Amino acid sequence: MLAAAFSFARGVNPAKLKINGLVGLDSTYARVVKALGKPTKETRPQAEECTGGHEKTVKYTGLSLYFMDGSSRDKKTYMVMSFEVTRAGFTVSGVKVGDSEAVVRRLLGRPKSIDNADGEKIWQYEIPDPPGPGWTSISFKNGKVTNIASSYTVC
């Protein structure tokens, strides 16, 4: 599945990437709703086993955010643990779906690795520990961004 990987120097801290310059990993649920408005879809909180808390997913057209409360200081505040952007209506620290590889390299720097899978090229940026560990992945098809995802490794 993964055909090749090449290591490059890191140029950006992927844990600090912001959606539309407003929210990102570690943002609270309240901050996300204040910044982006009411979600189009939201799952009910359910128990999760990694941190002993709860999890839920919030969706906007072209954006999905995964929240957990068990990793927050008070164990009650839902925090963004991952997000995925699939439409050009959202930017991630200036990068949007449809941008070229050159734009991504200029804005985010060189990735830690590049993988090829199923006709897509995937640039991986490592989130250091702390606050991670985790990864930010930028997927390309025909040289254009198709997906931007960022996630802490929780379990």
Report whether pLDDT(11) > 70.
no
Q: How many domains does the chain have?
A: 1
Instruction: For residue 108, tell me if it sits in a domain.
Output: yes
Two structure tokens written together for 73: 């200081």
Q: What distances in angstroms separate CA 91 from CA 60, 62, 108, 136, one per listed residue?
A: 13, 11, 12, 14
106: in domain: yes
**pLDDT of 12 above 80:** no
Higher pLDDT, 150 or 75: 150
- Most confident by average pLDDT, 9-23, 43-57, 139-153: 139-153
Calculate mean pLDDT across residues 52-66: 95
Please check whether residue 6 lies inside any domain of the structure: no
Please check whether residue 135 lies inside any domain of the structure: yes
The answer to whether residue 9 is domain-embedded is no
pLDDT tens digits, one per residue of 95-153 = 999 999 999 999 999 999 999 988 899 999 988 877 778 999 999 999 999 999 999 98
State residue 16 phi and psi, 5-degree precision: -100, 5
Task: Give residue 81's domain range.
Answer: 14-152
pLDDT at 56 over 90: yes
pTM confidence score: 0.87
Whether the pLDDT of residue 8 is over 70: the answer is no
